[in-house]
Amino acid sequence: MTTLLEEVLKDYMHVRGFKLATAESCTGGLVSHRITNVSGSSEYYPGGVVAYSYEAKASMLGVAWDILNTHGAVSEETVLEMARGARKLFDADIAVSVSGIAGPTGGTAEKPVGTTWVGLSTNDGEWARHFVWDGDREQNKHYSSDAALQFIIDYLEGKLS
């Protein structure tokens, strides 16, 4: 039987005693849903924000309008600010953020459908990862949620520098 990423995450979070928050756009709460599918997740997961519009990203997570207007919602700069904002909002040790173009519409030559950024903000630093998925809308959202959970696990395993 395959162990789900959210189960692996639970084990790490219990050992470390960290609090985790989320800031989601294209996944629409799927990361939060997966985290909260695990019994006991309330011990380490105080909450998350689904900030789909520019306005929500700015007002709820503190993403600067200059960042949004210059780089767009789907960018390294935006996901780092989203993660930083969620970490502050929930007084968490770690926050992960996701913003992307799930499809089937919305893509451009510069940012085709499937383009996704995942951000991670911690007390130790901040990182971002870029992906371009090739699935349909539902698949791209699932791939993005996997990437977000894996990013947190990689951090907790000491695989980031």
Structure-token pair, residue 131: 């992906």
Q: What pLDDT does residue 160 have?
A: 76
- The 10s digit of each residue's pLDDT in 91-146 is 999 999 999 999 999 999 999 999 999 999 999 999 999 999 999 999 999 999 99
- Directed axis angle between helix 54-61 and helix 76-89, to 10°? 40
With 80 as the cut, is the pLDDT of residue 1 above it? no
The mean per-residue pLDDT over the stretch 43-70 comes to 98
Pairing of strands 126-132, 115-122: antiparallel
**CATH topology (fold) of 5-156:** Maf protein (3.90.950)
E strands present in the chain: 20-24, 47-50, 94-100, 115-122, 126-132
What's the pTM value of the predicted model, to 2 decimals?
Answer: 0.96
Q: What pLDDT does residue 2 have?
A: 66
DSSP label of 75: S
Residue 159's pLDDT band (cuts 50, 70, 90): confident
Closest by Cα among 102, 139, 147, 100 to 120 = 147
Q: What phi and psi, each to the nearest 5 degrees, are found at residue 19? A: -105, 140
With 90 as the cut, is the pLDDT of residue 60 above it? yes
The mean per-residue pLDDT over the stretch 155-159 comes to 93
The mean per-residue pLDDT over the stretch 13-34 comes to 97
Sign of the C-alpha dihedral computed for residues 50, 56, 60 and 63 taken in this order: positive
